[in-house]
Homo-oligomer: A and B are copies of this chain.
């Protein structure tokens, strides 16, 4: 999965931007639950964030559930983007209603819960599931992945989706193929995260230290 993420990221990155894609050595095979999000956040901080501290200008969390996004925004002094949030925001300038194409059935309520949390559910057409696990997707051929993905996309379209979002980093790279089949714009969330990170940096912006991400943190990390 990491190589697909890397390819998507580099495909859209500006020339003068260096992309470093890192996966923690330890941790769950995939992130599909709140438990996985918790464990991964700790691992990512130890194995990815700490070693690169001061060496990178922004962090893009390449998992659609945006695990640890809020925590990292608290402790880091550089922009932290989640690919879930980023892709939803980008979808809003391309059409009225968006749908997320998720891998597992569990992801349907999980992503709806996430959208409620972000206050971004009002433009949601639907969340569709491929009825698989992320672990499966990683082992399947392109064709095997495309079939249920197209089906999910068609269901979304019937429910009013005007823009589709690939709801998993493991689906990075399927945007163009799906778009051709379905004839709707399809957002690769990794690309959305990278471009939004670049934009924030080039605008000279940083995370607000007032309110939600203020630095009242008691934990060592």
Which residues from chain A sit less than 8 Å from chain B, CB to CB? 12, 14, 27-42, 68, 70-71, 73-75, 79, 81, 85-86, 89-90, 92-97, 104-106, 108-110, 112-113, 116-120, 122-123, 133, 135, 157, 160-163, 176, 183-185, 187-188, 191-192, 195-196, 198-200, 202-214, 216-221
Contacts and interface: CB of A to CB of B under 8 A. Distances in A.
B162 A187 contact: no
A78 B161 CA distance: 20
B160 A28 contact: no
Contacts of A119: 116, 122-123
A96 to B, nearest CB: 4
A203 B176 CA distance: 10
A94 B208 contact: yes
Given A71-B38, A92-B85, A204 B176 contact: yes
A207 B95 contact: yes
A28 B219 contact: yes
Given A116-B122, A123-B119, A207-B185, A109 B219 contact: no
A79 B70 CA distance: 27
B212 A27 contact: no
B93 A85 contact: yes
A97 B219 contact: no
